[in-house]
Chain A
Amino acid sequence: MNDYVVEANAVEKTLGRGAGEVHALRGIDLSLRPGELTLLMGPSGSGKTTLLLVLGCMLTPTSGSVTVCGTSISNADKEALAKIRREHVGFVFQSYHLFPTLTATQNVQLALDIRGEHGKRAAQKSREALAMVGLEQKMDSLPGGLSGGEQQRVAIARALVANPSVVLADEPTGALDGNNGQSIMRILADTAHGRERAVLVVTHDPRVIPYADRIIEIEDGLIVQERPGETDRPRMPKAVPFRA
């Protein structure tokens, strides 16, 4: 048994039909390991968001295989995909996607509520998750009363509170200034290294490169380069061979 939490083999994904058909992914091999922060970089239209959606169990591959924590998603229906996401995946979105009418604590608690964890214990876990991202003083604030960086930290707490095996972050620093962006990346790096989670960050932002253990570049639906990051942590062995 290997230690990968996400494994994608020869993944192809075709979007649209007929004249509008687009081969968004053209044979992707990629694995994500616990304790590693991986950056997925590439120009617009390169297929990185499609890859994120496939790895995040929101799309199934047209061909090839994807397993998340040992469960194949190839033939899963929508509810089965939702179950895999619920049990194993945490998401961080560029636009935060917090619920504007719920407090920070309630936003985080939602991630537990949909898993069937309710009551005081869930509220306590949510407060602990907010404290972990440095928001002890903002637990009862509504998202409208928080800065962009604080909102993103709430979103990270929401993604982490249920202890997912893998965290997928889509441009988490895209809407933030330099300081807030660094703060968010530090939390994500701590999540990978301190909590032994697999973290995949899709980004355009070169400022996040210093936090990466591994950098994967994608173009036209293909991985064109995979290289170690620039952290001074001991490198883990390469998950997959370079594929041009």
Chain B
Amino acid sequence: MSLVLTLASRNLFHDRLRFVATMVGIVFSVVLVMVQMGLFLGFGRMVTTMIDHASADLWILPKGAKCFEDPSLIDVKLRDRVATMDGVSSAVPLVIGFSDWRLESGELTPVFIVGADLRDGSLQPFNVVDGNVQALTQGANVAVDRSYFDRLGISGVGSTAEIRGRKVRVVAVTDGIRSFATTPYVFVDLKNARNYTGTPRDRASSVLVRLKSDADREKALSEIRAQAGDAEVLTSDDFRSRSRSFWLFGTGAGAALFAGALLGVIVGTVIVAQTLYSSTKDHLNEFATLRAMGSSNGYIYTVIIYQALINAVIGFAIAAGIGSIVVQMTAKSALPIVVTPWLMAALFALTVVMCVASGIGAIIRVVRIDPATVFMR
């Protein structure tokens, strides 16, 4: 280990209480930022989960639709016009909307109906762990997520309940399809979706379009837009981006998460700056001695920067450990915290920047050292 690193580490570990206080500050800060940003990512994924799992290249939507759950409707005849256009493989109407689920106990709970024609280019239940999705086309059958069994008063495939006074039977069970709004998604076929949501036969929430593999995408998009009239045509990426933007920023949820993360950064920076400054002040005599011996300012800055980096590495390692526990604990929750490798890398970079920036106060103090003071003591 280089001597400057040795000196930096000994300076830090010499006062264990202060070192512990520094670690608490860094860990608190990093875990807070990790949780906030993990929630941001988790929320961002959750609000687009249906778009992500739909087999569609283009979405025909009511003009100005902000998200998948937008209740506006379009004329379903548009689907017939689009389906016959060059380059289009399939065009499938989708009907969504809120409805009432009556448990066997008689209690009512709101559900969110997702109904599509179960053909190619559609939105089918995914992550199926039990039952048969094709059975949705046969009668009043539904697919639900097992995380909502208690809420819906069911126990699995074969359970029954009522939606809008119509008896339904569970034929398929999924895992991990959770709604950020906590209203359970219920997958049904298109016809039943109209009944459960009260959507007229000539209307649909959207039309999911799949293009042929050899189609000129830009040309097809432009031609479909020309036919769309009052509707709007978005690529899946555009719709995903718009939906995420609406829920995260239109509602203020994302701003609140970012504000929490910013608070974490500020708290961490202040705590580390304070402890680094007081550590430097305690070692001023040593820094003055170094200066008297002829060390450059750069050498002394290196000692302080190394102290900051040691803080960052140890603090981040502890925070990452705590963060991984938090991630595991929330994995099955309504809003899981998602920590990606990129987020971890960004957090590490943020920790380093935070700790090094915290050293500026200490560096400013050291710059003013008069080496002659060592002769006065």
Contact = CB atoms under 8 A, between A and B. Distances in A.
B187 to A, nearest CB: 66
Contact of B3 (A79, A85, A113): A113
Nearest to B286: A99
Contacts of A82: 291, 294-297, 371
A19 interface: no
B290 interface: yes
B292 interface: yes
B7 interface: yes
A63 B7 CA distance: 39
A16 B293 CA distance: 25
Contacts of B374: 91, 93, 95, 97
Given A99-B7, A101-B11, A59 B295 contact: no
A170 B3 contact: no
B294 A102 contact: no
Q: Is the interface of B mostly helix, strand, loop or mixed?
A: helix
Nearest to A57: B294
A114 B290 contact: yes
Contacts of A97: 285-286, 289, 292, 374, 377
Contacts of B342: none
Q: Which of B14, B291, B375 has the most CB of A within 10 A?
A: B375
A204 B359 CA distance: 41
B213 interface: no
Contacts of B293: 85-86, 91, 110-111, 114, 158
Contacts of B292: 56, 58, 85, 91, 93, 97
A121 to B, nearest CB: 13
Interface in B235-293: 285-286, 289-293
A36 B293 CA distance: 22
A89 B294 CA distance: 8
Given A95-B377, A101-B14, A110-B7, A83 B2 contact: no
Size category of the B interface is 20 to 34
Contacts of B286: 97, 99
A59 B299 CA distance: 21
Nearest to A113: B3
B7 A102 contact: yes
B328 interface: no
Interface string A42-63: 0000000100110010110000
A110 B291 CA distance: 12
A22 to B, nearest CB: 15
Interface string A77-105: 01100111111010101110101111000
A118 interface: yes
B83 interface: no
Interface in B1-57: 2-4, 6-7, 10-11, 14
A99 B3 CA distance: 12
B349 interface: no
A109 interface: yes
A161 to B, nearest CB: 11
Interface of A: 49, 52-53, 56, 58-59, 78-79, 82-87, 89, 91, 93-95, 97, 99-102, 106, 109-111, 113-115, 118, 122, 158, 170
Interface of B: 2-4, 6-7, 10-11, 14, 285-286, 289-297, 299, 371-372, 374-375, 377
18 contacts: A56-B292, A82-B295, A82-B296, A82-B297, A83-B294, A86-B295, A87-B294, A89-B294, A93-B289, A95-B374, A97-B286, A97-B289, A97-B292, A101-B11, A110-B7, A114-B295, A118-B2, A158-B293
Given A82-B291, A97-B289, 18 more contacts: A58-B292, A59-B372, A79-B296, A82-B295, A82-B297, A82-B371, A83-B296, A85-B292, A85-B293, A85-B294, A87-B294, A93-B375, A95-B374, A99-B289, A110-B7, A113-B2, A113-B3, A114-B295
